[in-house]
Structure 1
Amino acid sequence: MFAGTKLRAALTGIVLSTLSLTTLQGTATAADFPDRTSSHAPTTGGSPVAAIEGATARALARSLAEPAWRRQLTHAALAQQEVDLLALTAKSGAGPVKGFRAALVEAEAGIAEAKGLGEGVPSLLRVGLAGQKVDESALASAEPLVASAPADDDAEVVVAYDSAGVAHELDAATAPQRPVYVVGVDGQKALAAGLEVIERELAARGLDSASPTAASPSTASAATGFWTTRIKSIGIADVKEPWFKSDAEIFSLVTGFGTDGKVRVDTVTMPYLDDEGTTYYPNQILVNWSNYKYNLADVVLMEDDGDTNYSSLAKALAAVLLTITDQGAYIPLVDAIIDAMPASWWTDDPDYVDSFYTLARETAGSRVGAAGNARMTVERYYVSAL
């Protein structure tokens, strides 16, 4: 999910702050969007994804000058929390919307490219209502603004646009009284597609990787069953996400040495880990021990910020992990994974959340992460064959 979800829950009606003098006239066209092929494409704090989101917000705001299209978006946003922009524009025949949709197709391609997702990715750009709860009559009487999340987690203002193209600076810590649409990327879909990219890239470079559940049994264990480590409960003190970003998209990298003696990386999605200071009870399998040579594995918890390029992440992981060889004894791999992700890659990096060193097959009970940010209770769990 994206910024509107947390904004809606956390913020109340406070008057919006000062106005910028920026004015953009006319209907939405491709000129509103950054050219992803140009070296002079506009960016937002060095963030290509944030730049595309911001341009989409500006173009969407200008397209809302068309009354029928504005009513269409109103009905969709009131009916569901997240609205697929590409799908919604396909249902409108209004001239300004056709121009917006043509540019939106390019924006979707730019998002996929910036995140290293390749072709064939489902549409990712979404919009939803934020701020105080409103109904259809309120949206009809007060023209909504359209915003996107800043690239900088510490930003003090959020820029939003009206249908005349005027830019309004909103306080990042409080909500405007006026209704606001927030444009963002569907984080769960992007993460799912990204982890598939990581698995393909690692496999192509000789690093074994299982499916995103990390629960696929090896051939040898499939007939009899296998031992796993299962998460009974888990909580995170800080999910590394401000209110104006999406809900936290947490995933784990489970690493160890595979049965062939090579480094193995299994990805595990944790879509339920949205809120900090909350304990969740997923009963989720974290480690499938039939896939590992030794009785130990490491777990690194990461949070996907918007600009994560999964192809680059996989290549960097492979470059580091391929240099580590089996010495006949278990070698912790957490530090190697963290070292593979230099902060210079992105302005908005995938955040390190916490790590658990040397998790054993026999480990049971409560464990606190090395950074003291995550706490989980695990148990041994045997998966029997059918």
Structure 2
Amino acid sequence: MSQSRLRRAVVALTALPLLALGAGQAVAAPAPTPAPAAAASKVTAIEDEVARTLAASLADPALRERLRSATAAAPAGAELTPLAAGLSGATARGLAAATARADRAVATAKGLGDLGPLLRVQLADPSMRAALDAGAAPLVAIAGTDEHARTVRAYDTAGRVRGLDAATLPTRPVYLVDIDTAKALTAGIDLLQRELTARGIAPAAPAAPTAVQAAGWWGTKITSVEVNDDEEPWFKGAAEMFSLVSGFGLDGKVRVDSVAMPYLQYDGTVYYPNQILVNWSNYKYNLADVVLMEDDGDTNYLALAQAVAAVLLTIADQGAYIPLVNAVLAALPASWWTDDPDYVESWYTLARTSTGRLNGARGNGWMTVEPYWVSQL
């Protein structure tokens, strides 16, 4: 593949490097003691069961043809549950029922409500299309979260497990079962902000604006951004990332704003989003923090909000800016520091006047920013 795949869907709590306007030195973020790798997560287990069920269902020629056509029309992924809808036969009905249950189970595991179809399927690589069109029997696997895996478990139409080399693109067509992380991320960001607000990490009601404030507000705009990674597995899907910008609100209480970054999908790729990251009219001090993370498919947004709020609510305004990145990182579950971390990068003390390239504290990414005046119409 020409681009290495990022770990999926990320959460970002924003904080930019100390002395960001100086030599660009990065402040190392503290790393907790690594925890032993956890067993397969709920979402991974659900996806694996769906992959096995789908593989067995592809013994049905009508379903196999429908899947081939659907993935050709939607290379980024076709929703699984609607695929079986409308087809007659016990196999199609069984698959539709199983994937509908799995959709609800995935949403529950991520702390979300019923979002409708979440599971999707795609061909692992476009080069497999020719063999698939020629009638080759496909395998079904899941878009794995462990970039360091040496083998990938796949299923054939007889339900047998086939081990695939994670470092070599298979010659046999492989379908990957994944979740629609863009849909999950949108719902997760909304839930995260609601839960943080309900727990007191909320925007304060703005005071009556001054004449200058009424004319607009200063923001920090991301002009370019890149995340680094050395892995290039064929079985990975695109990432879904977001940021949580943290600082002190106008009322002197800790404030967290979630910022979706759906364009940040692949490592080793420079993106030019021109995205507003911080609205400085919401902050008391001229500094904010940022932590970038990913939704690896297993991110539970409700648990994340609870963990972050529990720590940040203990921090009080002392009349001066206090960096919040370390407190946020300390709140993350231990499982997010294992081989497949949800934590990606962090930046300390982003100022309203920050400009130019800012390297992340972890050394895994950078962004260029500039002040931006947003005027009223």
CA contact (8 A) 1:74 1:136 kept: no
| TM-score (norm. length: structure 2) | 0.84
Q: Residues of 1 paired with 2:208 and 2:243: CA distance? A: 24
CA contact (8 A) 1:252 1:302 kept: yes
Match of 2:117 in 1: 123
Q: Residues of 1 paired with 2:367 and 2:337: CA distance? A: 29
Q: Residues of 2 paired with 1:146 and 1:89: CA distance? A: 16
Match of 1:369 in 2: 360
C-alpha deviation, 1:278, in angstroms: 2.0
* Cα deviation 1:7-46 (Å, max 9, x = unaligned): 79779xxxxxxxxxxxxxxxxxxxxxxxxxxxxxxxx933
Match 1:313 to one of 297, 304, 311: 304
CA contact (8 A) 1:301 1:352 kept: yes
Identity across the alignment (%)? 57
CA contact (8 A) 2:128 2:171 kept: no
Q: Residues of 2 paired with 1:188 and 1:327: CA distance? A: 39
Match 2:163 to one of 162, 169, 172: 169
Match of 2:328 in 1: 337
Moved more, 258-267 or 348-357: 348-357
Match of 2:26 in 1: none
Mapped pair 1:246 → 2:237: yes
Match 1:183 to one of 177, 182, 197: 177
CA contact (8 A) 1:142 1:179 kept: yes
C-alpha deviation, 1:74, in angstroms: 1.0
Mapped pair 1:84 → 2:79: yes
C-alpha deviation, 1:100, in angstroms: 1.2
* Cα deviation 1:84-107 (Å, max 9, x = unaligned): 011222232222110111111111
* Cα deviation 1:114-145 (Å, max 9, x = unaligned): 1111x231321000112452447743521111
* Cα deviation 1:332-386 (Å, max 9, x = unaligned): 0000110000324797865222111111111112211112222111111110011
C-alpha deviation, 1:217, in angstroms: 9.0
Q: Where does the alignment leave 5 or more consecutive residues of structure 1 unmatched?
A: 1-6, 12-43, 211-215
Q: Residues of 1 paired with 2:365 and 2:207: CA distance? A: 29
Match of 2:139 in 1: 145
Matched residue SS, 1:267 = strand
Moved more, 145-154 or 351-360: 145-154
CA contact (8 A) 1:228 1:285 kept: yes
**What amino acid is aligned across from residue 220 of structure 1 in structure 2?**
P
CA contact (8 A) 2:224 2:274 kept: yes
Match of 1:206 in 2: 200
1:345 to 1:230, Cα distance in 2 relative to 1, 3 A: closer
| TM-score (norm. length: structure 1) | 0.82
How many residues align structurally? 342
Matched residue SS, 1:223 = helix
CA contact (8 A) 1:239 1:275 kept: no
CA RMSD of aligned residues (A): 2.6
Moved more, 220-229 or 244-253: 220-229
Q: Where does the alignment leave 5 or more consecutive residues of structure 2 unmatched?
A: 6-37
Q: Residues of 2 paired with 1:320 and 1:350: CA distance? A: 20
